[in-house]
Amino acid sequence: MPAAPHPPCSARPFRALLLVLVLSGAAALPVPAEAATREQAIEQALRADGNRGRVLEVRRTTTGDGRAVFLIKTITDGRVRVHRIAADG
């Protein structure tokens, strides 16, 4: 007997996930520089966006291994990015 054909694989869940990722537009962008102050971190994030972005949020947090980082959320041309900038000290 021939093998029964597999039912067609639905791409709907994959498409839905892809749509969510595209519409969210969020991307974590590593920036290798360090910043001593919040203002320096903001300057670095804006520079990475070509000095065309706008700052939405700034947070200082600690990573799982104990390093302090600034998370700078920017929007440029409708695209939201989160820049991770190491904090001095």
The pTM of this model reads 0.61
- Which residue matches tokens 């998370």? 71
Q: For the chain, what is the domain count?
A: 1
Find out whether 44 and 85 touch, Cβ atoms under 8 Å: yes
Residue 13 belongs to a domain: no
What's residue 47's pLDDT?
94
What's residue 31's pLDDT?
44
What's residue 4's pLDDT?
58
Tokens standing for residue 33: 């520089």
Its domain, for residue 70, covers 25-87
Nearest to 45 by CA among 71, 69, 27: 71
Q: How far apart are alpha carbons 77 and 54 in whole angstroms?
A: 10
Residue 38 belongs to a domain: yes
Tokens standing for residue 50: 């070509």
Residue 11 belongs to a domain: no
User: Going residue by residue through the chain (89 aa), what tens digit of pLDDT does each one get?
Assistant: 566 565 555 556 656 554 454 455 545 554 456 788 999 999 999 999 999 999 999 999 999 999 999 999 999 999 999 999 999 86
Q: How far apart are alpha carbons 89 and 84 in whole angstroms?
A: 15
